[in-house]
Structure 1
Amino acid sequence: MSEIEVAQISCGSEYTGIQGEVESAAEQVGAKIIFPDIDLEEVEAAEAKFGLRVTSPDLKLMLARAISVVEGHTTADAVFIGTCFRCAEGALVRNEIRRYIHDKSGLPVISYSYTERTTADTLLTRMEALTTIAKRRSLLAREKQTGITAGIDSGSTTTKAVIMKDNEILGFGWVSSTDVLKSAEEAYSTALKESGIERDAVQATGVTGYGRFILGKAFNADLVQEEITVNSKGAVYLADRQKGAATVIDVGGMDNKAISVQDGIPGIFTMGGICAGASGRFLEMTAKRLGVDITELGKLALSGTASNISMNSYCIVFGIQSLVNSLSKGARHEDVAAAACYSVAEQVFEQQLQEVEVRAPVIMVGGTALIEGLPQAMRELLQAEVIVPPYAQLIGAVGSALLSSGFIEE
């Protein structure tokens, strides 16, 4: 396939000095950044077409460029939408353009708010996901696993591996992430042992997660792919929602992902988080402070009332301080657990779910989905169906095993 062309519709990338970082991230994944050509008359007419009046000339240009992509005057395979983190008007325009392009064109879209410190490394996974969706739609449409395959997910907190055969999970391993290779080998060996499959019987291997490039070389993997597309595929597969619309939420140990999916293929997605207070790390710290194992925190939260606890900050440091202050005043452990879960869910709702089209069912995945209080808090916030599929903690490994079966020669 020829070079993937990503239309950049943005404001402030030159002013913040990160335009070179955007182009570097695209180049690293074999993509090319293009800017839709617009004349003055189109800029002047754009506000009327959108029904949205904006002050900034650069934001008006963004509206016109979005129309150019949708109406086919600019040919692109995917779209990157970006505005400055501190610009409220930019955030409004970014969201309107994201919705407009997704609804009218069907192109994969990522929207991002950047700062002066945004780097190519920060953008790399996002750009990789855009190009994957554009290049590998037929592979991402795969609904069944065939043959004997392995999937390894090298996450920031845990490393997971699965062995699958003819659409069934035969064995899995799940260990804490320390050394990338050692953790992967331990998880993989455990999965092989549990499945009863010999290593040389595995026909294809897929890897994903933060350590995917190291593992790709070490395991001679057939599939080395970012976690946005792999995780969303694993999620809809395990939830049996491969047809129609769905929203995947993955609250990880280091960052979060929210992905709008149609027929198993991501359309709009967002990745990251403002603070670690919106991550699984905050829940781990809460469990430690309550003197319970993280696996017990969820059930504790189901018996509590979050509104009984005053949370003064989303910050992981000050958030824990709020919980400690409540405990010192005699607060019930159940209420503190519920408040911690609700705080994480609320941050994901306010910071990330505004960047995607939330369409039921909502599928919550990752290890944090097993903390029952978190999906319950999300149900309360969204007032929508929230599914936690079986093997929710293994979606990256399962998605890798499923997709890698597409590389087995018939």
Structure 2
Amino acid sequence: MVKIALVSCGTEYSGIQKEIEKAANKFGAEIILPEIDLEYIDEAYEKFGFSAQSSSLKLMIARAMAIVEGKSRPDAVFIATCFRCAEAALVRNEVRRFIQNNTRIPVVTYSFTERTKADELFIRMEALATTVTRRSILAREKQEGLTLGLDSGSTTTKAVLMENNQVIGTGWTSTKDIIESAKTAASEAFGQTDYGWDDLDGIGTTGYGRFTMGQEFGAELIQEELSVNAKGAVYLADCQKGEATVLDIGGMDNKVITVNNGIPDNFTMGGICAGASGRFLDMTSRRLDVDITELGPLAVQGDWRRAMLNSYCIVFGIQDLVTTLAAGGSKADVAAAACHSVSEQVYEQQLQEIDIREPLIQVGGTSLISGLVEAVSETLGGIEIIVPEYSQHIGAVGAALLVSGMGHRQDNK
């Protein structure tokens, strides 16, 4: 069983301790608390060198120190603090950085509310468990045979056919009914080849609808999108050796994943406000009466400084854009402001939690919005960003790659 060390503050008082344990148990993992004595708390606190007023935060620091010093030997670490506490947010980030800099243990952080439920933690716990238990699968660098990857996202469903390390067919459709959307995307991918369902060696599923699709199609691989997207990104960007950072600004949430030799070792997810997601850009394009594919080039022509937003909220942000247009502002400036707003929020909410390792690989449907890619680069001080071919199909590519070698359907015929 995978042992996940809980390094937290306030989980007992808020009542979410059982929810965290339930989420871990769902994926064959066990939550453990690093054992320490009172004397060690003071000793560890002094070594850490960060001043915290709360005794609970001091305990949190001591548990992190116990992991780094080998007094506790977990397979992974889950760091959690209450979203209301500013001091806890600082300690959470410092503890995360401390563990990551001094160990090779996968770490994920989370800011919880009093109403956090187990299902909100599933993808994080699954990703931690996957990184530990499927390390050999994640180390795969080459696709073999004929495999199909299906990615059921919050906005779109993607399908990718791969054969002998090449993408030979792709499909893309809006996510409505999970199974029907998957069949539509797969049919589009099959239509670009002479193959059909009966020719496949294996199927891999990922995304929000992965379990439903996996059961329907008898998938050999059903895996969360954090590790799958990371693998697909470094594979397509030809960055499977060494370090990299993957950024996926999605329709409902965002993911930032650091990767070492093709295997994710740290990640963060966001999803608190839609103003920091692709949904805001979709609403902006509708308000500007341009297709989402035209928003990027339009934004590149504009200057976000001439249409600054006073609010990051998706509702008030759109109101600011409407006000700018009514005052005679250009569509290009508004498009640029929308892209810059999303980029800035992703930086403040997530990218600061991760030590960005170059190259930065931007993927997902929003990576096709050139104005957003440019805004992210500017926000990060001009860093070069790689947008690989098939970046919008990254999850499906990762699933098709990882299932390679697991499926032997043709051998059984």
TM-score bracket for this pair, using the shorter chain length? over 0.9
**Offset of 1:195 from its aligned partner?**
2.3
The corresponding residue for 1:89 is: 87
The corresponding residue for 1:387 is: 386
Does 2:132 match 1:134? Answer: yes
The corresponding residue for 2:66 is: 68
Distance 1:53 1:255 in 2: 33
* Contact 1:17 1:116 (8 Å CA) reproduced: yes
The corresponding residue for 2:32 is: 34
The correspondence for 1:368, drawn from 366, 369, 373, is 366
Distance 1:234 1:70 in 2: 31
Q: What letter is aligned with 2:84? A: R
The corresponding residue for 1:79 is: 77
Q: What letter is aligned with 1:117? A: R
Distance 2:314 2:81 in 1: 26
The corresponding residue for 1:347 is: 345
Distance 1:178 1:286 in 2: 22
Q: What letter is aligned with 1:402? A: L
* Contact 2:5 2:32 (8 Å CA) reproduced: yes
SS of structure 2 residue aligned to 1:15: helix
Q: What letter is aligned with 1:66? A: A
Distance 2:324 2:332 in 1: 12
Q: What letter is aligned with 2:391? A: A
Distance 2:211 2:173 in 1: 19
**Offset of 1:220 from its aligned partner?**
0.2
Q: CA RMSD, aligned part only?
A: 0.9
* Contact 1:268 1:357 (8 Å CA) reproduced: no
Q: What letter is aligned with 1:405? A: S
Does 2:203 match 1:205? Answer: yes
The corresponding residue for 2:244 is: 246
**What does residue range 142-221 of structure 1 map to in structure 2 within 5 Å?**
142-221=140-219
Distance 2:73 2:48 in 1: 20
Structure 1 regions of 5+ residues with no counterpart? none
The corresponding residue for 1:397 is: 396
The corresponding residue for 1:282 is: 280
**Offset of 1:90 from its aligned partner?**
0.6
The corresponding residue for 1:306 is: 304
**Offset of 1:10 from its aligned partner?**
0.2
* Contact 2:233 2:388 (8 Å CA) reproduced: yes
Cα shift readout 1:111-136 (whole Å, capped 9, x = no counterpart): 11101111101100000000000001
Does 2:299 match 1:293? Answer: no
**Offset of 1:354 from its aligned partner?**
1.7
* Contact 1:42 1:64 (8 Å CA) reproduced: yes
Cα shift readout 1:53-77 (whole Å, capped 9, x = no counterpart): 1111111111111111111111210
Cα shift readout 1:164-192 (whole Å, capped 9, x = no counterpart): 00100000100000000000011011111
Distance 2:49 2:384 in 1: 33
The corresponding residue for 2:118 is: 120
**Offset of 1:406 from its aligned partner?**
2.9
Cα shift readout 1:265-310 (whole Å, capped 9, x = no counterpart): 1111111232101111110110011110000000000000011112
* Contact 1:81 1:110 (8 Å CA) reproduced: yes
Give aligned-pair identity as a percent: 60
* Contact 1:283 1:340 (8 Å CA) reproduced: yes
Q: What letter is aligned with 1:337? A: A
Distance 2:43 2:126 in 1: 34
Distance 1:184 1:408 in 2: 19
* Contact 1:139 1:406 (8 Å CA) reproduced: no
**Offset of 1:21 from its aligned partner?**
0.6
Q: What letter is aligned with 1:389? A: P
Structure 2 regions of 5+ residues with no counterpart? none
Distance 1:42 1:265 in 2: 34
The correspondence for 2:269, drawn from 271, 275, 278, is 271
Distance 2:227 2:376 in 1: 22
Runs of 4+ in 1 over 3 A off after TM superposition: none
Distance 1:310 1:380 in 2: 16
**Offset of 1:216 from its aligned partner?**
0.6
Q: What letter is aligned with 1:206? A: G
* Contact 1:16 1:116 (8 Å CA) reproduced: yes
Of 351-360 and 336-345, more deviation after overlay is shown by 351-360
SS of structure 1 residue aligned to 2:192: helix
SS of structure 1 residue aligned to 2:13: coil
Q: What letter is aligned with 1:147? A: G
**Offset of 1:158 from its aligned partner?**
0.2
SS of structure 1 residue aligned to 2:239: coil
* Contact 2:151 2:206 (8 Å CA) reproduced: yes
Distance 1:350 1:314 in 2: 11
The corresponding residue for 1:49 is: 47
Of 202-211 and 86-95, more deviation after overlay is shown by 86-95
SS of structure 2 residue aligned to 1:207: strand
**Offset of 1:48 from its aligned partner?**
1.7
* Contact 1:79 1:108 (8 Å CA) reproduced: yes
* Contact 1:273 1:352 (8 Å CA) reproduced: no
Q: What letter is aligned with 1:390? A: E
The correspondence for 1:111, drawn from 98, 109, 112, is 109
The corresponding residue for 1:20 is: 18
Distance 2:192 2:145 in 1: 17
The corresponding residue for 1:100 is: 98
Cα shift readout 1:144-180 (whole Å, capped 9, x = no counterpart): 1011100000001000001000100000100000000
The corresponding residue for 1:222 is: 220
Distance 2:247 2:96 in 1: 19
**Offset of 1:198 from its aligned partner?**
2.3
